[in-house]
Amino acid sequence: MENKIDFLGIGAQKAGTSWLFNQLNQLPEFSLPPKKEIHYFDRSPIYPTPNDLAKRLLITRIFDKVWFQSAFKDIYTSLLDKNRSSLKFYLKYYFSNYTDQWYLSLFENLERYSGEITPSYAILSKGDIQKMYNLLPEAKLILMLRNPIERAWSAYRYSKRKKQNFQFENIDIDDAIKFLKSERQRRRSDYLSTINNYASIYPKEQILIGFYDAIIDQPKELLSAIIEHIYGKEIPSIES
């Protein structure tokens, strides 16, 4: 199967990856899947991430309540929106056995530049990065970084998004400290390990590092640099 994956956003969490996905999705030169985070390479239960793909065989997850709720929500939304391409994607995403060929097939009908962005790829082991390289040796990698304290604090606030009346004034300090000091957050802020692990396997010229602050200060310049990294030249349709 032909590889149609031109780039991977590999993190970091709460460092502007949703901004990047939305910006690329608006450009006519890009065609992205409806699901931003595929979580294919971090599907192992060893990672503190959504392990929705951990059960490779469809038959082993068909009675999983969480799996069923996610599938129903995405498929129902696609039907409501009358979005045939999205519906086709989610039917394949949920009702398949998870293999390398299945992963590549998610992108096979996307005719323009394409890829996916899963922030948890920042914490992959070298072994799983090697698996990524074996499947996608020419993919361009994009790593967005943010002040690690601000990143972790944003992640904490996001984790409390469903709590009613959550305000800075009523924060449980012990709970916040426990969250910020957790192994999960330490790994997500260990940028040096992420860079070293990827650079030990992928050629350095295939890795671009962007910074969250540039989204505020120089968004056009940042987006232009990312696009040039992906396919080698600036896209004229980017507007100020």
* Token couple for 231: 């396919």
Among the ranges given (12-21, 147-156, 176-185), the one the predictor scored with the smallest mean pLDDT: 176-185
User: Would the pLDDT of 73 be above 60?
Assistant: yes
pLDDT, residue 233, reads: 60
Say how many CA atoms lie within 13 Å of 66 toward its Cβ. Answer: 5
Share of residues in the chain with pLDDT > 90 (%): 72
In angstroms, the Cα distances linking 187 to 83, 176, 205 are 38, 17, 24
pLDDT, residue 239, reads: 54
Q: Which residue has the higher pLDDT, 167 or 86?
A: 86
When pLDDT is averaged across residues 39-62 and rounded to a whole number, the result is: 90
What contacts 134, CB < 8 A, 6 or more positions away? none
User: Would the pLDDT of 26 be above 90?
Assistant: yes
pLDDT, residue 43, reads: 93
pLDDT, residue 4, reads: 83
pLDDT tens string 187-197: 999 999 999 99
User: Would the pLDDT of 165 be above 80?
Assistant: no
User: Would the pLDDT of 240 be above 60?
Assistant: no
* Token couple for 152: 């972790």
pLDDT, residue 63, reads: 87
What contacts 110, CB < 8 A, 6 or more positions away? 4, 31, 32, 33
pLDDT tens string 104-144: 999 988 889 999 999 999 999 999 999 999 999 999 999 99
pLDDT, residue 237, reads: 54
What's the whole-model pTM score?
0.89
Closest by Cα among 161, 211, 206 to 11: 211
